Amino acid sequence: MAAGSEATTPVILAAGAGGEEGEHVKPFTPEKAKEIIMSLQQPAIFCNMVFDWPARHWNAKYLSEVLHGKRIRFRMGMKS
């Protein structure tokens, strides 16, 4: 096998949610996440970091309204 072709296992970076059940607490600040990303030498998975991102709630109707009819190529769902 050639150098660099080995499969790498991602590092999973997460912390407990803490607080009451259902309460969302990010395990890292954006600045700390960037610091971690810049120091890693392998892929990483950050858990519990995007629960408050507005894009999680976007749908086709919302994007249609925001883009005012501008056509954009995209795919929803699995490629197969």
In 1-80, which ranges are continuous DSSP H helix?
30-39, 60-67
SS3 content of the chain, % helix, strand, coil (to 5): 30, 10, 65
Q: pLDDT of 13-43, one tens digit each?
A: 765 444 445 567 788 888 988 898 899 888 8
Q: What tokens were used for 46?
A: 């950050």
pTM greater than 0.85 = no
Q: What's the rounded Cα separation, in Å, for the pair 33 and 43?
A: 13
Rounded to whole angstroms, the maximal C-alpha distance in the chain is 51
Cα gap 24→45, rounded to integer Å: 18
Q: Who wins on pLDDT, 74 or 1?
A: 74
